[in-house]
Amino acid sequence: MQKEDSFLPDLLCLKLKEKLHIRKEEGNYRQIQLQKTSKIDFFTNDYLGVSKNDLIKLPKKSNFKGSTGSRLLSGNSKEALSCEKKVAQFFLAESSLIFNSGYDANIGLISTIIGREDIIIYDEKIHASLRDGIVLSRGKSYSFSHNDLMDLQKKLDKFSTIKNVYVIIESLYSMDGERAPLKDISNLCEKFRTKLIVDEAHSVGIFGENGKGLCVENNIHKKVFARIITFSKAYGFIGAAVLAKEEVIQFLINFCRSFIYTTALPPLAYYKIEKILKKDLSRERNALIKNIQYYTDCVNSAQIGPIQFIKCSEFMHFEEIVRKLKKVKIFQKIIKYPTVPKSEEGIRLTFHSFNTKKEIEILLSILNPVK
């Protein structure tokens, strides 16, 4: 006779299957697939074409080894230490700490720095990794309406007597490409003596002096408690960094679980990040800005970044648009719920320095009907 406990795994599998079935029925089922390379690319990161055009040449003969452990054990290297120093200098920060990804950096920073008794006020459109960090921090969190200074001020006023209040935003939002009103938010944080955390994943490499980001462009970088940057968007590589004061970085080294308990990047990765920052990318940056400007002028868009989002007002119509784009060798997917709210599904276009005017015109010839 079968024991009652033996049925538990089957019941669990049934529950998982049921949830997967619901997702399939909703048309939101995710799969890992090998995608054919698009002839015309308005889909990938690598905004400046660093990866596509192989702009960073590695030495033909090198002694780079693989990663051997976490940074606090056997995985540290002279390349890692040199890279962090150069990253801090380049982005005008006191210190920096490199993580394997932007996700690791975001959940690590927020869950480590913010405690149970602290208050978090965050823009409702921040990235999932920031939200996960908030959950792990166990701090009390409250959202404010996207880029709404009045709503943010109300929240700050409500918690003005709390010692540690953190405001979390992105400088350039990852889904719809909108800028945050950085100067105004910084002024509010200064007025209410709150700490500002800014995710600059999509602005570094493009905006600010030599691509130092929108915080530098707006001259608020010295007032920001911590900035998070990545090398996987504009620079088309891997890794991320937290930019902050030395004591914040030392605190992360001692207490941040996503840093302490993970294998370090291999020395070659740190070496390449340093080389990327030394590379003069002004030509690529100018070409990208020119492409964005041409597209936005044609469609009368106020979005100024490499990400251009078109909402789906008619869902089935957009399925047809995706099929038409595929016929002209432009690969796209509709960004669906739960990545975005059901009312905000759409197509997320990504522009690059290497896109040509002709390619943009081909794209526009398909998208014109949805203007």
- What are the pLDDT digits (tens) for 209-268? 999 999 999 999 999 999 999 999 999 999 999 999 999 999 999 999 999 999 999 999
CA 170/CA 122 separation, integer angstroms: 10
Q: Which pLDDT score is estimated for 37?
A: 62
Q: What's at 20, amino acid-wise?
A: L
The dihedrals phi and psi of 310, each to the nearest 5 degrees, come to -115, 115
**Strand, coil or helix: what is 210?**
helix
pLDDT(369) > 60: no
- What is the sign, positive or negative, of the torsion defined by CA atoms of 55, 59, 60, 66? negative
Could you tell me which of 321, 327, 335, 330 has the C-alpha nearest to residue 368?
321
Q: Hey, what are 94's tokens?
A: 């006191």
Q: Which pLDDT score is estimated for 4?
A: 53
Q: Which pLDDT score is estimated for 222?
A: 97
pLDDT(370) > 60: no
What's the mean pLDDT when you consider all of the chain?
A: 91
Neighbours of 192 (CB within 10 A): 18
Q: How far apart are the first and last CA of the chain?
A: 66
pLDDT(91) > 90: yes
Neighbours of 150 (CB within 10 A): 8
- Note whether 262 and 256 are within 8 A (CB): no
Q: Hey, what are 272's tokens?
A: 């390449």
Give how far the C-alpha of residue 136 lies from the chain's centroid of Cα atoms, to the nearest Å: 19
Q: Which residue has the higher pLDDT, 195 or 23?
A: 195
Where does the pLDDT of residue 356 fall: very low under 50, low under 70, confident under 90, or very high at 90 and above? Answer: very high
Q: What's at 54, amino acid-wise?
A: D
Which residues lie across from 308 on neighbouring strands?
Answer: 349
Q: Which pLDDT score is estimated for 320?
A: 84
Query: What does the CA dihedral 273, 47, 329, 294 come to, rounded to 10 degrees?
Result: -160
Could you tell me which of 358, 237, 352, 236 has the C-alpha nearest to residue 287?
352
Burial zone of 146 (CB within 10 Å; 0-12 exposed, 13-18 middle, 19+ buried) = middle
pLDDT(6) > 60: no
Average pLDDT value for residue range 355-367: 94
CA 200/CA 202 separation, integer angstroms: 6
Give how far the C-alpha of residue 269 lies from the chain's centroid of Cα atoms, to the nearest Å: 19
Where does the pLDDT of residue 1 fall: very low under 50, low under 70, confident under 90, or very high at 90 and above? Answer: very low
Q: Which pLDDT score is estimated for 38?
A: 66
pLDDT(371) > 50: no
Could you tell me which of 162, 168, 161 has the C-alpha nearest to residue 137?
168
Where does the pLDDT of residue 128 fall: very low under 50, low under 70, confident under 90, or very high at 90 and above? Answer: very high
pLDDT(333) > 90: no
Q: How many residues does the chain have?
A: 371
Spatial CB neighbours of 251, under 8 Å, sequence gap ≥ 6:
112, 113
CA 273/CA 235 separation, integer angstroms: 9
In this predicted model, what pLDDT tens digit does every residue of 62-81 receive, in sequence order? 777 888 899 999 999 999 99
Whole-Å CA distances, 89 to 99, 105, 225, 227, 288: 17, 19, 17, 14, 25
pLDDT(35) > 60: yes
In this predicted model, what pLDDT tens digit does every residue of 105-121 receive, in sequence order? 999 999 999 999 999 99
Q: Which pLDDT score is estimated for 177?
A: 81
Superfamily per CATH, domain 31-50+282-370: Aspartate Aminotransferase, domain 1 (3.90.1150.10)
Tokens 């105004």, located at residue: 184
Q: Out of 17-31, 190-204, 293-307, 323-337, which region has the weakest mean confidence (pLDDT)?
A: 17-31
Q: Out of 91-95, 188-192, 276-280, 324-328, which region has the weakest mean confidence (pLDDT)?
A: 324-328
Spatial CB neighbours of 362, under 8 Å, sequence gap ≥ 6:
40, 328, 330
**Strand, coil or helix: what is 350?**
strand
**Strand, coil or helix: what is 13?**
helix
pLDDT(336) > 80: no
Q: Hey, what are 205's tokens?
A: 């490499």
Locate the domains of the chain by residue range. 31-50+282-370, 78-278
Could you tell me which of 360, 48, 41 has the C-alpha nearest to residue 203?
48
Global pTM value: 0.90
Average pLDDT value for residue range 130-148: 96
Share of the chain above pLDDT 90, in %: 71
- Note whether 180 and 215 are within 8 A (CB): no
Where does the pLDDT of residue 124 fall: very low under 50, low under 70, confident under 90, or very high at 90 and above? Answer: very high
Name which CATH class applies to 78-278: alpha beta
* Whether the domain at 31-50+282-370 and the domain at 78-278 fall into the same CATH topology: no
User: If residue 217 lies in a helix (H) or strand (E), which one and from where to where?
Assistant: helix 214-217
